Chains A and B, each alone.
Chain A
């Protein structure tokens, strides 16, 4: 065990991977709190499916590199997100249906483009992540973009919470709710792009949604869900970097599998909202209705 730690902490790529895991884990866990409280995981899921075709599109036009991936993913996510909102506002179809059509169409287009590209192997890193391959430049990007995103989210915590509780009340208080909604969507896309290195385009949704969902099953305070989600995201990501090194497995899948197991644990064992506790309470109440 000491050997593994020495190798991870002692090597350049190990250190970079750990640093990236700290930022990416926290950012996803914190932002995920807003997504979970808002119950818009489905929307985030749709956005996450636009990242891969975006990267493929960017690669087709300008070759596969971080800038083309960023721009491509940003453009497709915006087209699908805004397109679905526009369609639902101007037709009788609801937003979720429009979203489902648009993101699957985009994903299909991405697969068609993928066949045309000869860079399948290096694209795999974008799809499933490879945090041990983080370069110095990648790390700068992760910290700069992640730092900006987190600062905005922390700065806007109060108006965001009012907006999440009730859009109508937020509007009566002069909070620009439409702006906040678009900003939140844009930050979700940016966060997914930042997270590509760690978990890839396909699994990024898990890292976004799971930590806050686990916290949601334990606590009742939005602030604890946000910050706790961030800390949980960081802890799991860092431990999984080390574990993936020790057991020679891919980091991204290990992170989302670990989060999945922690979620099941919370679902069953949470002292307040867990299955065991609720069953216990149910039988207790049946036996002794006055208690």
Chain B
């Protein structure tokens, strides 16, 4: 765990003026044990947008997100963030696994969990600085979980847990958020709250990429839509992507 140069980041990527930072995936291929899980994925995006990743079961949505953050060893292609190829882990790109893959009974409070996100930036033994405390508080405010700070995460509703997990990623100064099925298992009110928050994150300069199932809400929540089925089918505004031909290619 290395301490990232966090000052540098502040200078080069101010959150307020974001929207100009480019994120691009170029010709990404991923294999699992000789089987081709994904091929020919290329798209460009900028900070301040929300992108829906849509595809059937086994279309490779999780694989794509994992490949972007370097969790798929046998993948080729280039992922660029702010013009630089992403070779290894960077705190600015965060991947959040599906909620059911996380330990929801982990014995920790909301505040403690959000704090975990800050550790890689602080280092192994150093005390939290004022700016670290600020980042943690900001992340909790952003996701509206400040009042839950002393609650155990196991005692929260699914929607609250999801917001706390996203707050953890925000505390690590992530600008690109890759969310795996963030709406899965949430009731309607929780979905609405989360959708608003994702919109707000994008509006404040984050790039949100989330796998999504509900075609009725894609347009409301997301600016762009990436349709895949082991390969790239279409990418663009949801209204342009949601054609019968594309859907047939993705789900047919």
Q: What is the CA–CA distance of A158 and B172 in the complex, to the nearest angstrom?
A: 14
Q: Which of A1-9, A189-197, A219-227, A274-282 contacts B (4 or more CB under 8 A)?
A: A219-227
Query: Quick check: B2 and A174 within 8 Å, CB to CB?
Result: yes
Question: Chain B's nearest CB lies how many Å from the CB of A267?
Answer: 16
**A162 — nearest CB in chain B belongs to which residue?**
B116
Q: Which of B5-13, B101-109, B182-190 contacts A (4 or more CB under 8 A)?
A: B101-109
Instruction: Pick the residue among B89, B102, B122 that contacts A173 (CB under 8 A).
Output: B89
Q: What is the CA–CA distance of A171 and B120 in the complex, to the nearest angstrom?
A: 12
Instruction: Pick the residue among A158, A166, A216, A220 that contacts B109 (CB under 8 A).
Output: A220
Interface positions, chain A 154-175, Cβ under 8 Å from B, are 155-159, 161-162, 164-166, 168-169, 171-175
Interface positions, chain A 190-243, Cβ under 8 Å from B, are 216, 219-222, 225
In the assembled complex, which residues on chain B have CB atoms less than 8 Å from the CB atom of A156? 124
In the assembled complex, which residues on chain B have CB atoms less than 8 Å from the CB atom of A37? 106-107
In the assembled complex, which residues on chain A have CB atoms less than 8 Å from the CB atom of B97? 166, 168-169
In the assembled complex, which residues on chain B have CB atoms less than 8 Å from the CB atom of A222? 106-108, 112
In the assembled complex, which residues on chain A have CB atoms less than 8 Å from the CB atom of B23? none
In the assembled complex, which residues on chain A have CB atoms less than 8 Å from the CB atom of B69? 172
Question: Chain A's nearest CB lies how many Å from the CB of B171?
Answer: 12
Query: Quick check: A161 and B107 within 8 Å, CB to CB?
Result: no
In the assembled complex, which residues on chain B have CB atoms less than 8 Å from the CB atom of A155? 124-125
Question: Chain A's nearest CB lies how many Å from the CB of B30?
Answer: 16
Question: Chain A's nearest CB lies how many Å from the CB of B124?
Answer: 6
Query: Quick check: A174 and B1 within 8 Å, CB to CB?
Result: yes
Interface residues of B toward A: which range? 20 to 34
Q: Is the interface of A mostly helix, strand, loop or mixed?
A: helix
Q: Is the interface of B mostly helix, strand, loop or mixed?
A: loop
Instruction: Pick the residue among A159, A161, A174, A221 that contacts B89 (CB under 8 A).
Output: A174
Query: Quick check: B1 and A172 within 8 Å, CB to CB?
Result: no
- Given known A-B contacts A155-B125, A165-B102, A220-B108, A172 and B116 have beta carbons under 8 A apart: no
Chain B proximity mask over A172-191: 1 for CB below 8 Å, otherwise 0: 11110000000000000000
Q: Is B129 an interface residue (CB 8 A)?
A: no
Query: Quick check: B119 and A168 within 8 Å, CB to CB?
Result: no
In the assembled complex, which residues on chain A have CB atoms less than 8 Å from the CB atom of B107? 37, 216, 219-222, 225
Query: Quick check: B113 and A165 within 8 Å, CB to CB?
Result: yes
Query: Quick check: A158 and B95 within 8 Å, CB to CB?
Result: no
Instruction: Pick the residue among B1, B106, B119, B120 that contacts A164 (CB under 8 A).
Output: B106
Closest 4 A/B residue pairs (Cβ): A174-B89, A158-B119, A220-B152, A172-B69
B: which residues have CB within 8 A of A?
1-2, 66, 69-71, 88-89, 91, 93-97, 101-103, 106-109, 112-113, 116, 119-120, 122, 124-125, 152, 172
7 A-B pairs with C-beta separation under 8 A: A165-B106, A168-B97, A169-B96, A173-B91, A173-B172, A220-B108, A222-B107
